[in-house]
Chain A
Amino acid sequence: MKTIKGELFEIRLEDDNCTVVFKGALRLSGMEDYASILDLLKSTLARPVKPIVLDLRELDFLNSSGITMFSRFVIDARDQEGISLQFLASEAIHWHARSLKNLQRLMPALIIQLN
């Protein structure tokens, strides 16, 4: 398990190397600050044994730099053959339904499970 923690957030890569859990609020100031998180996400693309799952159900806030980070990861996943990618989202967190659909426009095969 690998974890990245900030004052307002925690991100955990599970031991299966395919599941990443996000909690809190991501408001970092630009792509340089998001680089370590993007690297963690990209590490899931190395020989995944099952679908990659990004669990955002407790990610309350994401700024547009964070959206850029996720879009970069989604495009990498799209451009790699055989990758299956799923986002777990929550109807109770309003940005999920509003903004995640844009990622689906980048990668039509992306599954967004909204509960």
Chain B
Amino acid sequence: MTNQTFGYYGQEPDGRGEYLTLAFSPLSAPLRSRWRNNGLSADFLGDYVTTFLPADGSTASAEGGQKEIKHAVTYIANELLENAMKYHEHSIDIPIGIHMDLTGTHITVSATNGISDGQAQRYQNFVQDILREDAGELLVRQLEESALGGGSTKSCLGLLTIINDYGARLGWRFDSHPPYQQIMTVTTSAVLSLSGLAGVSA
């Protein structure tokens, strides 16, 4: 498959802000024992971002805005990392990464993992559903379908809640990975706008 981007990818950040990257070697520990690290890493990103988004302490709304963006970053990082861990192609030694980029106007959280060509095709089909349909409607439909016993919609729900509940814009990049035949890397990116958050400025 060829390299492709979908959705709101690469339009933020501008490369001049603060950034933080964590990388994990998927071969170093089994998924179950690694799961705890997802929450720790997501909490860390949420805490980290508050350093650059100081509430001025003068109003309750400023403090509330800071807590809100902290929670949003934590939730988004946790979902992206859970998906990256869960769907990573474990037979290859490509690191799983989570990256956060902070500019004056946006926070971008993105996660990268390796996938097979087949997984990439299925994921791209789902991405096109997300881009074509209303996220709120799709979310409710997925919740209904999930209740009927479907277990495969997990990643869909996480991404749909990121769009619907947190107002983030999602983008995807699929890259071929030359050392490996029929393996790609996928980066899923969520961009949060800081405008409209009371009392918060970078």
Contact = CB atoms under 8 A, between A and B. Distances in A.
B35 interface: yes
Interface stretch (A46-54, A66-74, A82-90): A66-74
B97 interface: no
A68 B165 contact: no
Given A71-B143, A106-B140, A27 B38 contact: yes
A75 interface: yes
Given A27-B39, A95-B75, A95-B165, A68 B140 contact: no
B29 interface: no
A75 B78 contact: no
B42 to A, nearest CB: 9
Contacts, number: 74
B15 to A, nearest CB: 29
Nearest to B159: A64
Given A29-B82, A106-B140, A65 B165 contact: no
B140 A64 contact: no
Contact of A94 (B72, B140, B147): B72
Contact of A8 (B39, B74, B86, B143): B39
Interface of B: prevailing SS: helix
Interface magnitude class on chain B: 20 to 34
B158 interface: yes
Interface in A58-115: 61, 63-65, 67-68, 71-72, 75-76, 93-95, 98-99, 102, 105-106
Of the candidates A29, A64, A76, A98, the one having the most CB atoms from chain B within 10 angstroms of its own CB is: A64
B166 A98 contact: yes
Interface residues of A, number: 25
B154 A30 contact: yes
Contact of B165 (A8, A30, A98): A98
A106 B166 CA distance: 19
Given A64-B79, A64-B158, A102-B165, A94 B68 contact: yes
B157 interface: yes
Interface in A1-20: 7-8
A76 to B, nearest CB: 8
Interface in B122-151: 136, 139-140, 143-144, 146-147, 151
Interface of B: 31-32, 35-36, 38-39, 67-68, 71-72, 74-75, 78-79, 82, 86, 136, 139-140, 143-144, 146-147, 151, 153-154, 157-158, 161, 164-166
